[in-house]
Structure 1
Amino acid sequence: MSNIDEDVRREVIAEIYRQVDELDWDGMSARERSDYYVRWIDDPMIGGKLMRYIERDRVRVWIKDGPIKELPRARHGIGSYAQFAMSRYPGMEEIARQAIGSDWQANPETLVVKPNRCLVEGPGHDILMIWGPATKLADLVWAGINARVDGDADPVIVVASPQGTRISEGEMERHKLLAKVAGIELRHTTLRLARA
């Protein structure tokens, strides 16, 4: 896949993100998303350009494993795809203020990804904020456990759900109980997309 012309690759990613921004991508079912992958293969601005460099049956994989897989990180302003995101979730600074408090300041120089985490400096001590969607809870808890074992700052998990995502009270309580078993505080917050 590295043989795709860089200008074409950038144009295709920008077009995919433009179209995703017009859709309710986060609210779409797996089946609806699957239908869009097929449409994108036949779209002259996406598949039409990619098929000059890769075979038709590889286009869907390229889209799914590249731009779409990186979409959540791009919307957080993280990674090489961030420049293409037309809408963004709040950055780590705003997530820290929203979930932890207005007296806390995220330190962008300490950002680590997969899962997203950074030091948040506040009154008296620093904490390690680890954030992501509920679907990545196992990864978030595991990162928190590793932070404890490695002697890092006290971890706080923030389950950051895109607006429109529904998490029941029972699920939220279960998240907190799972984190509590690991000795880690967990909080929930809602992220709202805004035009970049």
Structure 2
Amino acid sequence: MLTQHPDSPERFTRHDIPRLAIAAGVLILALTAILGADILPEAPLDVEVGQLARTDIRAPRALDFESTVRTEAARVAASTAVPPQYSFTTENAIAIAGAQQIAFESRVTRVDTTFAADLSAANRMSLLQTAVTGLSDGAVATLVELNAARWAAVRTESARILDATLRSELRDSEVAETRTRLAGRMAGGLDEAER
């Protein structure tokens, strides 16, 4: 009497099949409605300028677009973020000085040729006025007034100062200041206009 017998579990019978089918059908319909809501097309987005969109705007396909403006801005920002790198070596200075001496020689070749030639004063003046491009009017006037001996002195001193300046350490940040002091470094008995 004291021992209790557990209730025997009910068996699955033929009468339970319709109830199972109905419950499974309801569950399938509910899950289909919930999960299938994303498949249905959304109403077209109708917004005006300045109005906030009610839903997220999604692109119809993945597309990469390179913005030239942003790319250039990023390139400039990266360039300015790099600190100046400077490594002075005597070999590089000698090579640069040699290259600049060659450039100097080629720039003043027409002046050398004009002074070496046997020309009239008028012809010499017209050739000297256009011999070196980029000179100021005052520098052209001084060049026209020079004779061959004074030109040789100016040319020699200019070549010496160019070589001495480029063989020593010259940083980019010091170029403007060095350029203003070049006339003061020139010797050789040159007057103010010839410097």
TM-score, normalising length: structure 1? 0.22
Structure with the larger RCO, 1 or 2 (CA within 8 Å, 6+ apart): 2
Larger radius of gyration, structure 1 or 2? Answer: 2
Higher strand share: 1
Higher helix share: 2
